[in-house]
Amino acid sequence: MLLLHGNPLTHVSWHKIAPDLAREFTVIAPDLRGYGDSSKPDGGSDHSAYSFRAMGQDNFELMDQLGFDRFQVAGHDRGARVAFRMALDRPERVERLAALDIVPTHTVLTNVTLGWGMEAYHWFFMAQKAPFPEDLLSRDLGYYIRYKLNKKNVGLEIFSPEAMAEYVRCTTPEQIHAVCEDYRATVTLDLAMDTEDFGKRKIACPVLVMWGSNSHCGRHFRPLEAWSGWSDDLRGTDIPTGHYPAEHRPDLVYPIFRDFFSGHEPRLEDLA
C-alpha cells in the first residue's frame, strides 16, 4: 500500500494510521518530490518536473525498486492528485485508489467560486511567477506553516507536537519553491492533461473518496458527483473532519481504509 501525503505536509501525516495498516499491509509512505526530505530538482521552464505525472513516475520507480508490480494507493490532497494521475496513466499497476479530501483538478479549476477561492487562495498565489510567492512566504516560515495548517473551525490541536515540529522543520525556502512549482504545474500542464482526458478516459480500478464535511472540499463541491465523471466503480462519504482527515479522525479513516484495501465494501452507512 502506497500512501501519498498532501501540501504542506510530509509522509509523517500518516503517522496515526500507518502503524495499524502495517499490521495487514506492506506500507510505503514516501515524501513527494519537492516535499520533506525528498529531492527538490529544478522545475524547468515549463514546471514539468513538478507535474502530477512526474511525481507519479517517481512513485512507480520507487515501487519497481521495492519489487511491487501492482499495488494499492491512498492519497491526501496533492498526493491524491498524484494517485489520480497514476491510476489514469498506468491502470495495469494500480489495484485500488483512495482519495482524501479532493475533487479532481479539472473540476476544481473549471468551477471556481468566490467561497472556494477565499479558502483556497494559495492555488493561485503560489502559482504566480517566481520568485514573488517564494519571497513573501519565506519572510517568516514558522508563521506561514502554522497559518496554512490552521484550518477554519478546526485549529491546530489535531496535529501532534511531534508532527507539527516535523512540518516546521521541513518548511524551508527550498521546499516553498518546490511547492510553488507544484502549483504552477497544476494550473498549466496538469489542467491540460486532465482536460484532454476528461470524457475520454476513466480510472479502471475501484475508487474510494472521503472528504471532510468541515473542509473547503466539503463546503464547496459535490465530491461524488465530481468523481463520477472519472470512475464507474466509485464509493465514498463525508466524515466529520476538516481538510486533514487522517490526523483529525484516524479512528474513522483507518477502518474504512482497512475494509476497502482488503477488498471489502467499507461500511460507509455507519458514518451517515
Q: What are the residue numbers of the active site?
A: 77, 243
Q: CB burial class (10 A; 0-12, 13-18, 19+) of residue 147?
A: exposed
How far does CA 86 lie from the centroid of its chain?
Answer: 13
How far, in Å, CA of 99 to CA of 81, rounded?
8
How far does CA 48 lie from the centroid of its chain?
Answer: 18
How far, in Å, CA of 34 to CA of 159, rounded?
22
Which residue, among 143, 168, 260, 155, has the nearest Cα to 210 in the 3D structure?
Answer: 260
Q: How many residues does the chain have?
A: 272
Contact 90, 199 (CB under 8 A): no
Contact 166, 9 (CB under 8 A): no
Q: What is the 3-state secondary structure (H, E, C) of 106-128?
A: HHHHHCCCHHHHHHCCHHHHCCC
